[in-house]
Amino acid sequence: MSVQLPADWWILLIASLLVAGVLAAAFATRVRLPGLLLFLALGMLVADDGLGLVSLADPRIAQIGGTVALLLILYEGGLTTKPGDLKQAALPGSLLATVGVLITAAVVGGGTYLLLDVEPLTAFLIGAVVASTDAAAVFAMLRRAPLPRKMASLLEVESGANDPIAIMLTIGLLETWRANPGAGDWVTFALVQLLGGAIIGAALGVAASWLLMRVNLGPAGVYPVAALGIAGLAYGTAAAVGASGFLAVYVTGLFVGARVPLHRRGIRTFHQGLSSTAEVGLFLMLGMLVFPTQLPSVIGPGLVVSAILVLLARPIAVLLCLIWLRYRWQELAFTSWVGLRGAVPIVLATFPLAAGYPEGQFIFNMVFFVVLVSAAVQGSTISAVAGWLGLRDKRPHGVAVAEEIPISDINTELIEVHVTEDLPIVGRQLVEIPPPHGLITTIVRRRRTLIPTPRTRVRSGDLIIVATARRPHASRTITAWARGETATTKDQLGRDRQPDGSAADGGVSGTAERPPPTGRPDGPRPGRRRRWRSWWTRRFSGRETRRSRG
């Protein structure tokens, strides 16, 4: 006798597809191919035109699933955006994410209308859908081809912030097909979408930061779940008032990632896993929507749109946005080439399909083919182009990653510091570089755990664990210490000195004070004191007695 529940088959199928997707991602990383190509191919394999295991006939299901996946991906992008990078690339990144998206959509839409036999609204819908770059693809590219901090920050900020603009354009153009709004309606729609989404996201981000930092929610595993609920609350609140829910989610993620240092590590790790799962599931689902037998009919038009996007629209947008900001021609050329398309355009392509737009299937197939071309051509050549333009950064960025690890029920936390070879603390003894407000308890070196002494030297690759009392911005203070940005300066002998030039007495902990005065004008004589202590220790520990007897 056997009993099978209705969900058994679906659980087996979904789990098998997820495992296959993870293995495909590992294989793609090894052979330096964009993983989305294999995810899409796997989705097409199990769909109607393939093995026929899954039939995804209703595009509205794909739209709902794609919206949830985009929410998770954008929220993770906000959580992992570093405040320093955001500050450094705020102006150029915001220009590319707003004005650049509008220029790209206009150029692609105009070129598609002039060169292909399509309606104007269809042409500009295609332009709006493919106007934004893909955050997940850009982040994966930066891991494969490390760039100078200036370029990496620009690309991260742009890819994380431009999705809401493309989504707003797509929804607005579909409303034009439904209701034919006027110019005033467009202005009102844009202001409500952008300002409303930003304000709601900032307000909920501040409130969430206070909640996660000030309120004890119990075990550490509860905080990532609470952060996930806050992301859904941000999207739902913004959508309820007609604002951009995606922009609200991204802004909320920025605030939570920057203002919740205590649980940042757990929250980021949890949402990185969710984002990766959402990305795999998203591409698998979108691959199921594609009918491979229909793709040959869009190869010619798809190549035309890809050429307009890569060779014309993206370079024009980059040039008009960044030429005023003193970027070198190599940086402008690389930024033009690195406009990768991925999950967001394909999800947006389901919007006309789900809305019943007459050319919805044509738009979806066209965008699907454009994303394939972008991933295959741009994604596989980015590392070579960066090397050819002299933009490969072979040096480590020198960022010490300091993350709090809260300890339950006591007012103490551990902070991890990952040491890179260009940090000023490398080669120094711990007695010379006491951390502020903390005690170095452990050093992990080459998978070995060391109990440090004051004479232990810091080496590149070390993982330093600092114990400190729980206080706001503790990780920021420890990071500044590791980078050599604390108030003390170093003299030629390598000893810490205060700004007035006097030497600072230090130890492994950061709370050491100057020795009290002894009445001698020249201070105590440490050599004689050490000899006296050495004799006293031997005399009363038994070693002196054993030596005299021997």
What confidence tens digit (pLDDT) does each residue in 383-436 have?
Answer: 788 888 887 765 544 444 555 555 555 566 777 788 888 788 888 888 888 877
What is the value of pTM for the model shown? Answer: 0.69
The two tokens of residue 243 are 């604002």
What is the rounded distance in angstroms from the CA atom of residue 50 to the CA atom of residue 43? 9
Rg of the chain, C-alpha, whole Å: 29
Q: Which residues of the chain have pLDDT under 50?
A: 396-400, 488-530, 532, 535-536, 539-550
The two tokens of residue 331 are 């940086």
What is the rounded distance in angstroms from the CA atom of residue 288 to the CA atom of residue 59? 10
Sheet holding 402-406, edge to edge: 402-406, 412-418, 463-469, 439-445, 448-450
CATH code, 402-512: 3.30.70.1450
412 strand-pairing partners: 469
Kindly report the number of other CB atoms within 10 A of residue 154's CB atom: 27
The two tokens of residue 127 are 């332009």
Q: What is the pLDDT of residue 128?
A: 92
What is the rounded distance in angstroms from the CA atom of residue 539 to the CA atom of residue 360? 92
Report domain extents, the chain.
18-25+32-388, 402-512
Q: Output the DSSP codes for 335-394.
A: HHHT----HHHHHHHHHHHHHT-TTHHHHHHHHHHHHHHIIIIIHHHHHHHHHHTT----
Instruction: Please count the residues of the chain.
Output: 550
What is the rounded distance in angstroms from the CA atom of residue 13 to the CA atom of residue 11? 6
What is the rounded distance in angstroms from the CA atom of residue 136 to the CA atom of residue 160? 9
CATH topology assigned to domain 18-25+32-388: Na+/H+ antiporter like fold (1.20.1530)
pLDDT in tens, 182-218: 777 778 888 888 889 889 999 999 999 888 888 878 7
What is the per-residue burial (b if ≥16 Cβ within 10 Å, else e) of 517-548? eeeeeeeeeeeeeeeeeeeeeeeeeeeeeeee
Q: Report the amino acid identity of residue 487.
A: A
